[in-house]
């Protein structure tokens, strides 16, 4: 509603999917992770002195002026903090426990490109935004169909975590998806309506794990999921 009187409906229409997805993430955030080691200080102890949107496009950035409780007691000095207000995302590493192989997707990514990386095409798990009202598990199944043409038999939840808590609200829900993988080593997938240009790679587990040793696996969730799978692989293969 902060757009009321400032933006025309025709301007907001293309942004509505992201607006609603951010709202959905805000509601889900109320179900916080346990606090057995970290502080139990709650968000209502933070005093907000100013709050403004410094970028309003498909993406949203907000700048806060705030004070917060300190570990020494009392409140901090007022600080300015910018935050990239993002959505939740589901991330899936498809794994075939019978043939012991995984599927990775490759696509052009703005992050590496904007950083100046000479190789901005990267290897990743399947991933996609959690749509409004959608459970992360449903997103995981949907994205595997859209990005890789795969129907998953089951999901193994690995973690739900902030990807960059110093500057972003984005949360990744990470899974290993059990499925039958095709014999093709590479393929092409993606939705034209979302301008996706995706190449898929089917690798043996050992070849995929080796990417973490060479550094070619340079996307955090891929490294996390491969290392988790290294630990849990014997169990998953025994159940296949």
Torsion sign across C-alpha atoms 166, 123, 131, 141: negative
Q: Are strands 198-204 and 126-129 parallel, antiparallel or unpaired?
A: unpaired
Closest CA to 22 of 136, 131, 110: 131
Residues of the chain with pLDDT under 50: none
Tokens of 80: 């300015």
Scanning the structure block, which residue is given the tokens 């052009």? 108
Can 11 be counted among the known catalytic residues? no
- Domain ranges for the chain, please list them: 9-30+37-85, 88-239
Whether 127 contacts 142, CB under 8 Å: no
Return the pLDDT at 40. Answer: 93
pLDDT score for 240? 83
Q: Which of 194, 216, 230, 232 is catalytic?
A: 194
Report pTM.
0.90
Architecture of the 88-239 domain: Alpha-Beta Complex (3.90)
DSSP states along the chain? -TTTTTS-HHHHGGGHHHHHHHHHHHHHTTSPPP-SSS----GGGSEEEEEEEEEESSSEEEEEEEE-B-TTSSBPPPEEEEEEE--EEEEEEEEETTTTEEEEEEEE-HHHHHHT-S--EEEE-EEEEPPTT--HHHHHHHHHHHHH----SEEEEEEEEES-TTTB--EEEEEEEE-PPPS-SEEEE--GGGT--EEEEEEEHHHHHHHHHHS---SHHHHHHHHHHHHHHHHHHHH-
């Amino acid at each position: 509603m902060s757009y009321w009187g400032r933006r025309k409906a025709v301007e907001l229409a293309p942004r509505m999917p992201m607006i609603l997805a951010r709202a959905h993430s805000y509601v889900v955030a109320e179900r916080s992770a346990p606090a057995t080691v970290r502080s139990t200080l709650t968000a209502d102890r933070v005093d907000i002195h100013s709050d403004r949107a410094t970028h309003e496009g498909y993406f949203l950035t907000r700048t806060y002026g705030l004070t917060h409780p300190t570990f020494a007691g009392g409140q901090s000095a007022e600080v300015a903090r910018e935050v990239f207000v993002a959505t939740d995302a589901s991330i899936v590493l498809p794994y075939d426990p019978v043939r012991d192989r995984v599927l990775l997707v490759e696509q052009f990514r703005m992050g590496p490109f904007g950083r100046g990386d000479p190789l901005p095409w990267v290897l990743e798990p399947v991933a996609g935004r959690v749509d409004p009202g959608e459970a992360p598990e449903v997103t995981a199944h949907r994205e595997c169909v859209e990005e890789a043409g795969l129907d998953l038999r089951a999901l193994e939840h690995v973690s739900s975590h902030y990807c960059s808590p110093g500057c972003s609200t984005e949360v990744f829900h990470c899974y290993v998806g059990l499925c039958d993988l095709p014999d093709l080593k590479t393929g092409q997938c993606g939705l034209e309506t979302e301008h996706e240009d995706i190449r898929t790679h089917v690798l043996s587990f050992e070849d995929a794990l080796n990417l973490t040793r060479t550094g070619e696996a340079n996307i955090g969730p891929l490294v996390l999921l491969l290392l988790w799978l290294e630990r849990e692989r014997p169990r998953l293969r025994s159940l296949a």
